[in-house]
């Protein structure tokens, strides 16, 4: 590998990008346009929301209430806890997105005052799921209340409408305002960068084949790795500018709270840009026509990215085989990372798993692209 050659290629590519201002303008403005278009998400039905249960009283009545909640079909109990701190751990690990807490004096309060609270703690990082979960919980509690009312009325000989009930006291963590945009927008940024990034580089090799310059280039001693690095460097800069635009729009235009560090954001974003550019480059190497490469890049980034990255459809609501599939959908790692950085203020240490996912991806794609670049015409 020779720095001089990489530099010569990067310089040439930069000049070509610069001399094509229309494409450059599209590359820089397109993401912003897409941000405004995709900035509003969709909500969808979910089932079997994983919940943790912390039943402080744990008697027949409270167990019955929990059984009623589960039998509604919307929830499944992933853990039964015995301590309050367990909730935080379970949520951090992603074991549950809601915790139902029944206080120790629940039965007594219900009997004496006719009203008792059930607490629901919600991980609102994924606000769609959270909102839907709240709706289901309210529905389930409503039915429980109706049952209690009927029993109470029968026992005391009074009208059901006058009696008390179970109150749902909810508290949301990580995304207190429950603003769905806070959840959707970081995902939108990831999706847009994945789409635009692959488009940026998908043309770079195909263009040289179509113009006939590739035949000249591969007759020189230049290596596959030099060509890749030389070509990626200028697009990396363009990709970073796109990322800055999108992230700035997320923070200032869509007002998503930013609690993390710029450094963490930069490192993970740079890694993600590297992956998406190299995916586009790999496509470009394999498909020697610009039109074909651009279409393939769109096809293989658009559908998996929008459907399987978890940006609107929560990954933990997917059936197991599909969920397994999302591990190869690289934007899912960046979606997770961005939400955590924005909403939880997570640092690199917290994000090692998705970051490692991206890193592995980068290494594999670079290896594949370098191998796919043949200095032959046949």
Give residues in contact with other proteins (CB under 8 A).
2, 4-5, 7-9, 11-12, 15-16, 19-20, 211-213, 215-222, 375-378
Q: Which of 61/223 has CB closer to other proteins?
A: 223
Q: Shortest approach of other proteins to residue 8 CB, angstroms?
A: 3
Q: Minimal distance in Å, beta carbon 2 to other proteins?
A: 7
Q: Which is nearer to other proteins, 14 or 295 (CB)?
A: 14
* DSSP element (H, E) containing 367: helix 352-372
CB-CB contact of 280 with 202 (8 Å): yes
In the complex, what is the shortest distance from the CB of residue 19 to other proteins, in angstroms, rounded to a whole number?
5
Nearest-approach distance from CB 229 to other proteins, in angstroms: 13
Closer residue to other proteins in complex, CB, 159/220: 220
- Comparing CB distances to other proteins, the nearer of 212 and 321 is 212
- The β-bridge partners of 101 are 54, 119
Tell me how far, at minimum, the Cβ of 240 lies from other proteins, in Å.
24
Residue closer to other proteins, measured from CB, 19 or 83: 19
Which contiguous run of DSSP H or E holds residue 24? helix 21-38
Which of 359, 212, 189 minimizes the C-alpha distance to 278? 359
CA atoms of 61 and 63, how far apart (whole Å): 5
- H helices of 157-261, where? 180-202, 204-211, 213-217, 224-248
Nearest to 290 by CA among 202, 177, 190, 181: 202
Within 13 Å, how many C-alpha atoms sit on residue 108's CB side?
6
Determine phi and psi for 78, rounding to 5 degrees: -95, -25
Q: From the CB of 4, what's the least distance to other proteins, in Å?
A: 5
Q: Which of 70/222 has CB closer to other proteins?
A: 222
Rounded to a whole number of angstroms, the minimum distance from the CB of residue 26 to other proteins is 17
Give the residue with the Cβ less far from other proteins, 16 or 72: 16
Residue 7 phi/psi, 5-degree rounding, is: -65, -45
Q: Closest Cα partner for 268 from 174, 369, 361, 175?
A: 361
């Amino acid at each position: 590998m020779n720095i001089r050659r990489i530099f010569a290629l990067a310089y040439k590519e930069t000049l070509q990008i610069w001399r094509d201002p229309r494409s450059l303008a599209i590359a820089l403005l397109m993401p912003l346009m897409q941000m405004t278009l995709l900035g509003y998400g969709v909500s969808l039905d979910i089932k079997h929301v994983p919940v943790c249960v912390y039943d402080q009283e744990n008697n027949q009545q409270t167990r019955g209430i929990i059984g009623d909640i589960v039998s509604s079909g919307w929830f499944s109990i992933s853990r039964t806890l015995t301590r309050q701190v367990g909730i935080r751990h379970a949520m951090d690990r992603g074991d549950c997105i809601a915790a139902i807490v029944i206080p120790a004096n629940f039965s007594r309060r219900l009997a004496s005052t006719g009203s008792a609270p059930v607490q629901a703690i919600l991980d609102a990082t994924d606000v769609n799921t959270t909102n839907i979960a709240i709706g289901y919980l309210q529905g389930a509690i409503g039915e429980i209340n109706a049952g209690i009312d009927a029993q109470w009325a029968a026992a005391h000989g009074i009208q059901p409408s006058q009696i008390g009930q179970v109150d749902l006291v909810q508290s949301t963590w990580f995304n207190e305002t429950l603003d769905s945009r806070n959840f959707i927008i970081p995902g939108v940024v990831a999706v847009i960068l994945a789409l635009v990034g692959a488009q940026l580089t998908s043309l770079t090799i195909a263009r040289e084949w179509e113009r006939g310059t590739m035949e000249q280039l591969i007759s020189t001693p230049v290596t596959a790795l030099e060509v890749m690095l030389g070509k990626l460097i200028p697009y990396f800069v363009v990709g970073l500018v796109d990322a800055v635009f999108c992230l700035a729009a997320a923070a200032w235009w869509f007002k998503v709270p930013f609690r993390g560090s710029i450094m963490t954001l930069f490192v993970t974003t740079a890694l993600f840009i590297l992956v998406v550019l190299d995916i586009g480059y790999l496509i470009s190497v394999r498909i020697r026509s610009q039109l074909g490469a651009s279409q393939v890049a769109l096809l293989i980034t658009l559908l998996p990215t929008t459907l399987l990255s978890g940006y609107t459809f929560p990954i933990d609501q997917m059936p197991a085989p599909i969920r397994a599939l999302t591990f190869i959908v690289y934007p899912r790692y960046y979606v997770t990372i961005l939400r955590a950085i924005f909403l939880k203020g997570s640092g690199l240490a917290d994000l090692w798993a998705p970051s490692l996912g991206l890193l592995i991806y980068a290494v594999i794609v670079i290896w594949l692209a370098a191998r796919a670049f043949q200095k032959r015409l046949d």
